Structure formats: structure tokens, C-alpha cells
């Protein structure tokens, strides 16, 4: 586990260095847009701008309830997640490719901890939240990426309607 954290820390440091170099180069070249880049799924939300709250149960049977969520483009949603199961679960927002890539990492490091705004891991009986702004229309996937949970069907979608 210590090795896994060391590897993840090294990967994070290398990633941060790359981002820093890229942003410095973009600024020097006069191409910096002055804002934060958004992923295809939106961006971390600000609590004071929450449009509404959606409660999601991470339940036994490897399911999210609800698993089909509808929001409007531009909405900032507070997901209140409660793990009512007897095993640890996670809620991870992403594109299908991002989720599969993260799942591959979770298979290698099943005890990895998350510190990203679009993810939360919850022990049995615990509750937490993710605040996310859906800035683009389309579909955003979510899943539990603990080993075996994804294959068991613990996933869902947020359908983002255009303005």
C-alpha cells in the first residue's frame, strides 16, 4: 500500500509538473485564455451556486438509486451520497474512457484514496457529497470503480439537457 501511494504521489508530481510547464508555455506564447479548462463532463461546482440537491443511495445489490439522473446545462448539482451497503463504494463522474482508465488503476491499487472533486469513496453507513457543474449538454457517466462493482452493474448516467 505504501508503494502504491508512492507511485501515485510520483505520478501526481509528474502530472503537475507537466501541467505547470504546459500552462507556462501557453502563457508565454500568448494563448492562455485566463480561465480553467473544463473537462468534457463539466467542472467542480461551487457550493454557493448549487441549483439543487440530488440524493443518491449506494445500495446492496451493487446499484445506485437513482441511476438515471436528468439535469440542465449550466446547473450546479450537490450530490448527497449515502452508502447503505455493508461494503465500501465510490461515486466517480467521468467519460466512459476516463472511468475505464481509472478502473484499470483501481484493479492494481484497490485501496487507493481519492482527492478529486468528481469522486468520493464511502465506507458502509457513511455519507458524503460531490458538487459538480454540468456546463455541457450530453451524457455524463458515473460508476463505482471498486473491483467487481463496475462489472456487477454499479453505474449510471446524468443526462444533461441543452439550455
Q: Quick one: how far is CA 67 from the chain centroid?
A: 15
Are 6 and 55 contained in the same domain?
no
Q: Could you list the beta-strand ranges (E) of the chain.
A: 43-44, 52-59, 63-65, 68-72, 76-83, 89-94, 119-122, 127-133, 138-143, 155-161
User: Are 64 and 156 contacting, i.e. CB atoms less than 8 angstroms apart?
Assistant: yes
Are 54 and 131 contained in the same domain?
yes
Q: What's residue 39's pLDDT?
A: 85
Give every strand in the sheet of 89-94, ordered side by side: 68-72, 155-161, 138-143, 89-94, 119-122
Are 10 and 73 contained in the same domain?
no
Q: What's residue 37's pLDDT?
A: 54
Nearest-5° Cα angle at 37, 55 to 141: 35
**Number of folded domains that form the chain:** 2
Dihedral sign from CA coordinates of 49, 69, 87, 109:
negative
Are 11 and 46 contained in the same domain?
no
pLDDT tens per residue, range 96-139: 999 999 999 999 988 887 889 999 999 999 999 999 999 999 99
Are 84 and 146 contained in the same domain?
yes
Q: Which cell numbers hold the place of 153?
A: 452493474
| DSSP code per residue over 119-136 | EEEE-TT-EEEEEEE--S
Are 111 and 133 contained in the same domain?
yes
**How, if at all, do strands 63-65 and 52-59 pair?**
antiparallel
Are 25 and 47 contained in the same domain?
no
Say how many residues make up the chain.
163
User: Are 57 and 141 contacting, i.e. CB atoms less than 8 angstroms apart?
Assistant: no
Q: Which cell numbers hold the place of 99?
A: 472511468
- Please give the residue range of the domain that contains residue 27: 1-35
Are 31 and 48 contained in the same domain?
no
Are 102 and 81 contained in the same domain?
yes
Are 55 and 23 contained in the same domain?
no
pLDDT tens per residue, range 37-50: 568 899 999 999 99
Are 11 and 83 contained in the same domain?
no
Q: What is the DSSP letter of 35?
A: S
Are 71 and 90 contained in the same domain?
yes
Amino acid at each position: 500500500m505504501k508503494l502504491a501511494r508512492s507511485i501515485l504521489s510520483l505520478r501526481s508530481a509528474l502530472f503537475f509538473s507537466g501541467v505547470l510547464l504546459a500552462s507556462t508555455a501557453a502563457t508565454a506564447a500568448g494563448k492562455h485564455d485566463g480561465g480553467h479548462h473544463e473537462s468534457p463532463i463539466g467542472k467542480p461546482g461551487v457550493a454557493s451556486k448549487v441549483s439543487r440537491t440530488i440524493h443518491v443511495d449506494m445500495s446492496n445489490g451493487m446499484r445506485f438509486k437513482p441511476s438515471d439522473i436528468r439535469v440542465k446545462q449550466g446547473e450546479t448539482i450537490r450530490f448527497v451520497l449515502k452508502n447503505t451497503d455493508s461494503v465500501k463504494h465510490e461515486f466517480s463522474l467521468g467519460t466512459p474512457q476516463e472511468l475505464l482508465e481509472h478502473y484499470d488503476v483501481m484493479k492494481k491499487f484497490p485501496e487507493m484514496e481519492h482527492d478529486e472533486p468528481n469522486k468520493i469513496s464511502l465506507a458502509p453507513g457513511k455519507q458524503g457529497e460531490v458538487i459538480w457543474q454540468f456546463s455541457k449538454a450530453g451524457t455524463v457517466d458515473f460508476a463505482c470503480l471498486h473491483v467487481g462493482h463496475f462489472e456487477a452493474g454499479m453505474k449510471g448516467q446524468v443526462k444533461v439537457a441543452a439550455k
